[in-house]
Structure 1
Amino acid sequence: MTSLSTPPPATGERTAGQDSTPRRSRRAAVAAAAGTAIEYYEFGVYGYLAVVIGPHFFPDDDPTASLLATLAVFGSAFLMRPLGGIVLGRLGDRMGRKPVLILTVVGMGTATAAVGLLPTAETVGVAAPIGLLLVRLAQGFFAGGEVTGSATYLAESAPPGRRGFFGAFTPVGVALGGGTAALVAGVLSTVLTEQQLQDFGWRIPFLLSLPLIAVALLARNRLEDSEAFLTTKEEDATAKAPLTEVLTRYRGPVLKVTLLAIGSNCGYWVGLIFMNIYLTSELGYPKSSTFWIMGGISFFVACLMPLFGGLSDTWGRKKVITIGFTGYAVLVVPAMLVMGVGSFPLAVLAMIVLALPMPIVQSVTYPTYAEQFPTRVRYTGLSFSFNIGTIIGGGLTPYLATWLIATTGNLLAPGFLLMGAAAMALLTLRTVPESSKLELT
C-alpha cells in the first residue's frame, strides 16, 4: 500500500516499521518524550511566568503593556521555528534522525538555561530585552526541529498497526514538559515570597533545564536510527533537496498539516497556557494555586494520550480527531463563563472540562502529520508545515488573546478565537484521507 502523499514511493523503498521491535519502539517512545518535554518545559515556564518576567525586561507603568511586550518576545521564538525546521529537517532527511534529535535537545536546553542568566533592564537597560529576544530566537530555531523530529522518528519506529499508540508519546512529552513547568512555578510561588520571586526566583526554572538535558541525552544516545531512514539511505533514495521536493510535490499535505497544526496549537496555547494568564491576571485567582492546578491537569492529560492514540489505531485517526476539535468548539466558551463566576473550585472544574479535548487532539494529530509525507522528505515536510501552523496557532494566540481582551473588554474573546481555529481544523480534516491502516513509504 502507498502512503497518503500523492506521488508513489521510490522504487524498492521498504516500508517503515517492518523491522521494528517492541523494545526499540519503547526505547524510541521514552527518548522522544524526554526531548520534547524539555522543549515544552521551557515554553511553558516562559508562559507561566510571563507576568513575573515582564517588568524585568519591559518596565512599564501599564502592566498590560509590559505583559504584551513579554508575550511578543514569546511569539518571536515561533518565527524562527520554520527556519529551524528547514535547516534541521534537511539534516534529518540527509544525515539521519538520531544526530539531529541530539542536536535539538542540547540546543534547546542550553538556550533555556541562558534565559536564567540574562541581566535585566535595571542593570543593562535596552540590552536586556535585546538579549532576551536573541535567546528566544535561538530557542525557536532548535525547537523547529525537535517535536517534528520526534514525531518523525516515532512514526518510523512503531510496529505495524500501532503508530497511533507510539506516536502519542510525542505529545506526552509536550504535556509532561508543560506540567513540570507549571509545578516548578507552583513550588516557587509557594515557598518564595513575591519579592523573592521577583528578585531571583524567576531564574531558577530556566536553570533547571541543565539537568534535564542530561536525562534526555542519556535516553537519545541509546537510540538507533529508524529502519525506514536507513533503508532509504542504503538504496540511495534520500532527497537531494528535501524542501524543494516538498514544495513542488507535496503542496497538498503541507497545506493540510499547516491548517491542522494551527487548530491543535491554538487548543494547547489558548486552552492551557493562556488560561493560566486568564485565571491569574484577568480573574484574579491566586498564582500558586493556579500553577498547581495547571500542572496536575497536564499530567492527567499525559496519562490519557496513549489511550486515545491507541484508539485511533482501531477507530481511525479522523474520527478521533473530529471528537477532539468538536469538544474544543463546544466547551471553551461555557468553561470560561464558569471560570468567571468568582468561585475557584468551579474555575478548577471548568479548567478540567476544557482540557478534556486536549489529549484527544494532541495524541492523534502528531502521527497523522507524519503519515502525510514519505520517508525521504518526512522530517522536512513535517517540520516546515507544522512550524508554519505553530507560528499562527501557538506564537500569536497568547498575544492575540491578551490584546483582544484589552481592546474589546470581552473576557470571552479568546474562547471565540479557539472556536474559530477548531472549526477551521474540522473543515480541513474532511480533506485528509484516513491513514491509520496505511503503511508508511
Structure 2
Amino acid sequence: MASVPTSVNTPGPAAADPDRPAHDPRPRRAALAAAAGTAIEYYEFGVYGYLAVVLGPHFFPGDDPTAALLATLAVFGSAFLMRPLGGVLLGRLGDRVGRKPVLILTVVGMGTATMAVGLLPTADTVGVAAPFALLLVRLAQGFFAGGEVTGSATYLAEAAPPGRRGFFGAFTPVGVALGGGAAALVAGVVSTVLSERQLEAYGWRIPFLLSFPLILVALAARRHLADSEAFLEKKRDRATAKAPLREVLTRHRGPVLKVTLLATGSNCGYWVGLIFMNIYLTSNLGYPKSSTFWIMGGIGLFVACLMPLFGALSDRLGRKKVITLGFAGYGVLVIPAMLVMGLGNFPLAILAMVVLAVPMPIVQSVTYPTYAELFPTEVRYTGLSFSFNIGTILGGGLSPYLATWLIDGTGNLLAPGYLLMGAVVIALLTLRTVKESSREALA
C-alpha cells in the first residue's frame, strides 16, 4: 500500500502563480462561496433534525410518539446511506471535470430536494405513500450532499495561500455552523409566531420551503469562481486520475481509514453534541421547544465566529494539537453537561449546552483542512468524499437514532453521552497515526 507523500519542499499550488498579487481576493471569494453552499446542506439536515418531533406524526402516525420519532430519525439516517454513492460519483466528476461545476450541481440538487420536503403530502392525505415519498426525497438530498461539503473542503485547501490552509479551510465548517444555526433560528421563529396547532398543520413546511432563496444566494456566490490552480495544472498536464476511486482504494487505503475514523468522531460530536441535544432537551427533558430553538440558533452562530480563529491557530500550532484539544473537550464535558441539563433548570441547561458546544468549532474547523491534506490533488475530491461520507454514516446518520434508541431501551438519559465518548476515543487513537501537515505543501 503506497503512502501519500505529504512532505514536499517545493511551493504549494497556491504559491505557483508568480503574478498573484499579495492581497489576492480569490481565496476570500472561495471561502465565502464554499461556506454559502455548505450552509444549505446543513440547514436542510438541521431543519429535519430540529423538526423531527413535529414531522413524526405526519408521516408515521400512531399511538407511540417514541416509535414515530424513531421512524423519522431512521429516514433522517437514510440520507446518509446515499452520501458515499453521491460522494464517489460526484467526486469522480470533480477529479475528472473540475471542482466548480460539481459544486454548482450539488447546491442546486440539495436545495431542490429540501424544498420538496415542504411540498410533500402527509399520511393523512396519501396514506403509506407519504413515508415512501419522504424517503425518496431524503435519498436525493443525501446523494447531492455526498459531494458538497467534501468538494468545498477540497476546493478551499487548493485555493488557500501557503501557510493559511487552516484559516481558509475553516470556512467549510463555518457553513456547517451557519446552516445549522439558521435552521434552529427559523424553527424558533415559526414555533414562536405560530401556535402549536398551526405549526403542526402547516408551519413545519415553511423552513423547508425557505431553501429556495438560499439556492439563489449560493449560486450567486459560486457561479463566478474559477477552478483551483492545483486542479487546472493537473488537467493541463493530463495528469488527472482516469479511475479515481480505484486509485484511492489501491494506493491510499491508509488515508481512507484515517479520514473515516476521524470523521466518525467529528460527526458524532456535531450530531449528538449539538443537533440531538435539541431532541434531548425538548422530548426527553421537557424544556420548551421555541426557546430551545432560539438558543440552538444562537449557539450555531457563536461557534461559526470561533471557527476561523481555531483554523488560524492550527496554522501556527499544528493541526494535531488543536484537534486533540477539541476531542478531549467533548470527552470531558459531555456527561457533566448532560447531568446539569437534567436538573430541571432551563437557564442552567442552556449554560451547559453552550459549554458542551465549545469543542465543536475546535474539532470542525481543523479536521476539514486535515482531511484534504491527506490526499493528493488528482484524487483528493474522490478520496475525501468516499472516506468522509462513510464517517458521516457512522457518526452522523446513525448517532441520533442510536441515541434515542439507547435512551428508550436502557432508560438511561446519559446514554448519548457515552456514545459520544466512545467516538471520541476512536478519533483520538486515530489522530496519533496522522502526520502533522500544517506546514507541508499539498501533495
Per the normalisation by structure 2, the TM-score is: 0.97
Once residues 358 and 58 of structure 2 are traced to their aligned partners in structure 1, the CA distance between those partners, rounded to angstroms, is 35
Q: 2:121 matched to 1:124? A: no
Counterparts of residues 182-261 of structure 1 (less than 5 Å)? 182-261=184-263
Quote the offset at 1:7 in angstroms.
4.7
Alignment-derived partner of residue 436 in structure 1: 438
CA deviation profile, 1:372-407 (whole Å, cap 9, x unmatched): 000000000000000000001000000000000000
How far apart in 2 are the matches of 1:318 and 1:153?
Answer: 22
Q: What corresponds to 1:403 in structure 2?
A: 405
Residue in structure 1 matching 2:327, options 325, 328, 336: 325
SS in 1 for 2:384: helix
Aligned to 2:273: 271
Q: 1:17 offset after TM fit, Å?
A: 1.1
How far apart are the structure 1 equivalents of 2:62 and 2:429?
42
User: 2:67 corresponds to which residue?
Assistant: 65
Shift of 1:8: 5.0
CA contact (8 A) 1:14 1:228 kept: no
- Whether the aligned pair in 1 keeps the contact of 2:76 and 2:138 (CA below 8 Å) is yes
Please show how residues 42-441 of structure 1 align to structure 2 within 5 Å.
Answer: 42-441=44-443
CA distance, structure 1, for counterparts of residue 201 and residue 240 of structure 2: 52
Q: Secondary structure at the match of 2:204?
A: helix
Structure 1 stretches of 5 or more lacking a match? none
What whole-Å deviation, never above 9, does each CA across 1:60-99 have from its counterpart, x for those lacking one? 1000000000000000000000000000000000000000
- Secondary structure, aligned partner of 1:17: helix
Q: Is the 8 A contact 1:14 1:232 kept in 2?
A: no
Q: Secondary structure at 1:160's aligned position in 2?
A: coil
Asked whether the 8 Å contact 1:39–1:146 carries over to 2, the reply is: yes
Unpaired runs of 5+ in structure 2? none
- For 2:393, what is the secondary structure of its paired residue? helix
Rounded to whole Å, the distance in 1 between the matches of 2:380 and 2:318 is 21
Identity score, percent = 82
Give the match's secondary structure for 2:14: coil
Distance in 2 (alpha carbons) for counterparts of 1:98 and 1:60: 46
Equivalent residue, structure 2, for 1:37: 39
Question: What is the alpha-carbon distance in structure 1 between the residues aligned to residue 4 and residue 264 of structure 2?
Answer: 25
Other structure's SS at 2:435 match: coil
Deviation at 1:425, TM superposition (A): 0.3
Query: Is the 2:14–2:159 contact (alpha carbons within 8 Å) kept by the matching residues of 1?
Result: yes
Letter paired with 2:261:
L
The answer to whether the 8 A contact 2:4-2:375 is kept is no
Deviation at 1:15, TM superposition (A): 3.5
How far is the alpha carbon of 1:16 from its aligned partner?
Answer: 2.0
Q: CA RMSD in A?
A: 1.2
* 1:188 partner letter: V
- The correspondence for 1:15, drawn from 3, 12, 35, is 12
What SS does structure 1 have at the residue aligned with 2:3? coil
Distance 1:60 1:103 in 2: 38
SS in 2 for 1:200: helix
C-alpha distance in structure 2 between counterparts of 1:350 and 1:48, whole Å: 19
Which residue type is aligned with residue 410 of structure 1? N
CA deviation after TM superposition for structure 1 residue 14, in Å: 7.9
User: CA separation of 1:314/1:8 partners in 2, compared to 1, >3 Å: closer, same or farther?
Assistant: closer
Distance 1:438 1:233 in 2: 23
**Counterpart amino acid of 1:17?**
A
C-alpha contact (below 8 Å) 2:39/2:176 kept by paired residues: yes
Report deviation, 1:160. Answer: 0.1
Asked if the contact 1:14–1:231 (Cα under 8 Å) also holds between the matched residues in 2, the reply is no
The runs of at least 4 aligned residues of structure 1 exceeding 6 Å deviation read none
Contact 2:12 2:162 in 1 (8 A): no
- 2: CA distance between counterparts of 1:242 and 1:24? 27
| Counterparts of 2:61 and 2:240, CA distance in 1 | 50
The amino acid that maps onto 1:408 is T
Q: Report how far residue 279 of structure 1 moved.
A: 0.1
d(CA) in 2 for partners of 1:139, 1:15: 34
User: How many residues are treated as equivalent by the alignment?
Assistant: 435
Give per-residue Cα distances to partners, 1:100-138, cap 9 Å, x unaligned: 000000000000000000000000001000000000000
Residues 120 and 130 in structure 2, CA contact (< 8 A), matched pair in contact too: yes
- AA of the residue aligned to 1:6: S
Q: How far apart are the structure 2 equivalents of 1:7 and 1:55?
A: 49
SS in 2 for 1:361: helix
Task: Name the amino acid aligned to 2:358.
Answer: L
Paired residues of 1:29 and 1:154 also in contact (CA < 8 A): yes
